[in-house]
Amino acid sequence: MPELPEIASRVREMQGALVGKTICHVDIVQPRSLNLPPEEFVSSMNGASVCEVTRRGKWIQVVTNRGHLLINMGMGGELLLCDATHLPEKRRAVLHFTDTTRLAVNFWWFGHIHFVPTDQLAEHRLTANIGADALEISTKDLADLVARHRGPIKTLLLDQARIAGIGNAYIHDILFMARLHPLRPSNTLTGPEVFALLEAIHHGLIPSMELGGAFYETDLHGRPGRFTVDHIMVGYREGQPCPSCGETIVKIKTGSNSSFICPRCQPLRPTDSGEGDPSGGPVGTAAPPSPAS
DNA sequence: AGCCCTGTTTTTAC
DNA sequence: AGTAAAAACAGGGC
């Protein structure tokens, strides 16, 4: 659940389900995920009651009266609210609540489960540097950000210290809706392009957030998100026609990751490959394309 | 069965 | 500043 729609969905669910519960024990399966020695982590959390659950970028913050539990799900995983008899096989840690329910935390690659006393939050390196939230940043701030960077626009959008919440799954459609090539130098964007980009960020993240996140992640009870491949326009659709112009979608290498683009709608240079479609283009095309067949 | 490749993240080092 | 490599794996293809 690495990206904003999934994290925001889990936070919403946790806010509803966890507030008021009190932690009475923590099982640590993978000490390397912690920021403290296991014994210290467990004793710090023991007796903590949950006040609220919020997020900063892709980090989940479980605010308790003892301090903040900061969770980063890395490249995906599950947060499951269950009882002692239904614990999932895969888990890195399990929070035990006094009402006998449990929260199992798992991630399959690079996650974090940190405990930070409230007065030391500012010193927590991994979250101290998080940039403006992708859904909250203003047009002006985005324009300033974009103008300050020379590298690929995609690199900037994935940089959590600059703008937080976008990851390498949702960015394909965001760049498509903004009609931007991922390797386009950030500081060459025009004013209208920046505006279109902000719109695209919203259109790219909000629908999934409202549907409980992507189908490949599950909610607190193990049910998959309702944002499916049918909602995706060009991401992971290599070889299929562009929903806007019909050109074949291609997968390209962009540095260390891959990108799915329509080469006609997202030329690297404005003059690169002509005009695109006459309908005004994908910007604002919030409606899902016809279902995948 | 086993090896190779890829990847929804983030940090660190050149 | 920008790019590359690394680090707690798992699933798919060959």
Contacts of A240 (CB under 8 A, 6+ apart): A248, A249, A292
Q: Give the per-residue pLDDT at A19.
A: 98
Q: Give the per-residue pLDDT at A2.
A: 82
- What Å value separates CA A3 and C1' C1? 26
* Backbone CA torsion sign across A146, A150, A154, A156: negative
Q: Give the per-residue pLDDT at A273.
A: 45
Q: Give the per-residue pLDDT at A64.
A: 97
Contacts of A57 (CB under 8 A, 6+ apart): A4, A7, A127, A130, A131, A133, A160, A164, A165
Is the pTM value of this prediction over 0.85?
yes
Neighbours of A183 (CB within 10 A): 18
CB < 7 Å to strand C — which of 54-113 in chain A?
90, 92, 108-112
- What Å value separates CA A111 and C1' C7? 11
d(CA A256, CA A273) in angstroms, rounded, equals 25
- What Å value separates CA A162 and C1' C4? 20
- What Å value separates CA A152 and C1' C4? 15
Nucleotides, chain C, CB distance < 7 Å = 1-10
End-to-end CA distance of chain A: 26
* Backbone CA torsion sign across A254, A263, A242, A139: positive
- What Å value separates CA A249 and C1' C13? 22
Whether the beta carbon of A32 falls within 7 A of nucleic chain C: the reply is: yes
Q: Which residue has the tokens 């919440």?
A: A165
Look at residues A199, A92, A84 and name the one whose alpha carbon lies nearest to residue A137. A199
Contacts of A95 (CB under 8 A, 6+ apart): A23, A25, A26, A45, A102, A103, A105
The segments of chain A whose pLDDT lies below 50 read: 272-293
Whether the beta carbon of A230 falls within 7 A of nucleic chain C: the reply is: no
Nucleotides, chain B, CB distance < 7 Å = 6-12
Q: Which residues touch strand B (CB under 7 A)?
A: A 1-3, 6, 57-59, 72, 74-76, 108-110, 125-126, 129, 158, 160-161, 167-169, 214, 216-217, 251, 256-258
CB < 7 Å to strand C — which of 176-205 in chain A?
none
d(CA A214, CA A57) in angstroms, rounded, equals 17
Q: Give the per-residue pLDDT at A71.
A: 97
Q: Give the per-residue pLDDT at A201.
A: 97
Look at residues A195, A157, A167, A182 and name the one whose alpha carbon lies nearest to residue A74. A167
- What Å value separates CA A271 and C1' C7? 41
Q: Give the per-residue pLDDT at A286.
A: 40
Look at residues A95, A87, A63, A71 and name the one whose alpha carbon lies nearest to residue A7. A71
